[in-house]
Amino acid sequence: MSLWNVEIKNGIAVASYVNPPMNYMTAAGMNELRDLIESWRDPAIRVVILTGGVPNRFITHYSVEELVASARDKALMMNIGRAWLHHHNATLTNLRDLPKPVIAAMSGSTMGGGFETSLSCDIRIAQAGDFRYGLPEVTLGILPGGCGTQRLSRLIGAGRAIDFILRGRICRPEEALSMGIVHEVATDAKARALEIATEMLSLSAVAIAESKRAVYEGVEVHLQGGLEIEGDAFIHTMITDEAVQIMEEYVAQPFEQRVAWLERKRALHHPR
């Protein structure tokens, strides 16, 4: 039975995770996500949205039942634990590295492994309400082992991340926004994600893909190395016919109308 329901319409793939009643992530859910990510490399799919298919839940967290079963067999954990984590982290890295925008419509509470999944998306939209986000693993005697320590520290800085992780903190949507963990808080996270996705459909797929590559590869290296990556990405965009056509359209505008042209160009198809 599938744990992900995927709908594709007008170049936007919306993947809803459905594992009632609690919507816990499981090994089966991660395996299915791994295969879906490969299918989303199809150029016809321009934007991917992940959301929850159970009311008021995104991906609540990884199944602690599965973790307990693994932890009880210490020899097995020592033998296969690293391979299991490698598979898990490779899946989330492949999600992040898709050459197209990936939006997390966080339609309810998400902690632990679910929160780590959202950290592997490009844009995170929180849903307003009495929901919780965070990494409470130390409260359970473990640590965030599915990319949480690494992605959160790169997102908000090591100082704030270590406080968040060592205290097993969970926070409400508005606090997550103030910390820079999410980009927006919306009344309906999925609807807002669809608005943003629709906006992105009008943008250059090459420019988006190369921008993602420049940011994510560049942040892992020193400044000069990052500038080399950025320069290579820039050249890849400059040699496209699409870029020439768009820039020619821009310079054809009277000087006093160019800002308005830019605003129209990026305006949402469905204004909020």
CATH at 126: 3.90.226.10
* CA torsion angle 45 188 57 154 (round to 10): 70
Whole-number Cα distances in Å, 212 to 99, 102, 133, 157: 7, 10, 25, 20
Q: Are residues 177 and 251 in the same domain?
A: no
Whole-number Cα distances in Å, 173 to 22, 62, 126: 19, 20, 6
Q: Are residues 62 and 78 in the same domain?
A: yes
Q: Are residues 197 and 212 in the same domain?
A: no
The tokens 């744990």 sit on which residue? Answer: 3
Under a CB-based contact definition with an 8 Å cutoff, are residues 109 and 57 in contact?
yes
5's CB contacts (< 8 A; 6+ apart) are 15, 16, 18, 53
Under a CB-based contact definition with an 8 Å cutoff, are residues 212 and 236 in contact?
no
pLDDT tens across the length of the chain (272 residues): 699 999 999 999 999 999 999 999 999 999 999 999 999 999 999 999 999 999 999 999 999 999 999 899 899 888 888 999 999 999 999 999 999 999 999 999 999 999 999 999 999 999 999 999 999 999 999 999 999 999 999 999 999 999 999 999 999 999 999 999 999 999 999 999 999 999 999 899 999 999 999 999 999 999 999 999 999 999 999 999 999 999 999 999 999 999 999 988 876 444 44
Structure confidence at residue 269 (pLDDT): 40
Residue 46 lies in a domain: yes
Tokens of 43: 């150029």
Under a CB-based contact definition with an 8 Å cutoff, are residues 97 and 216 in contact?
yes
CB-side exposure of 169: number of CA atoms within 13 Å? 17
Domain extent for 254: 205-266
Under a CB-based contact definition with an 8 Å cutoff, are residues 67 and 84 in contact?
no
Residue 271 lies in a domain: no
pTM: 0.93
Tokens of 177: 């926004």
Tokens of 106: 């966080």
Q: Are residues 164 and 72 in the same domain?
A: yes
Structure confidence at residue 270 (pLDDT): 40
DSSP string, 69-87: HHHH-HHHHHHHHHHHHHH
Q: Are residues 193 and 221 in the same domain?
A: no
Residue 272 lies in a domain: no
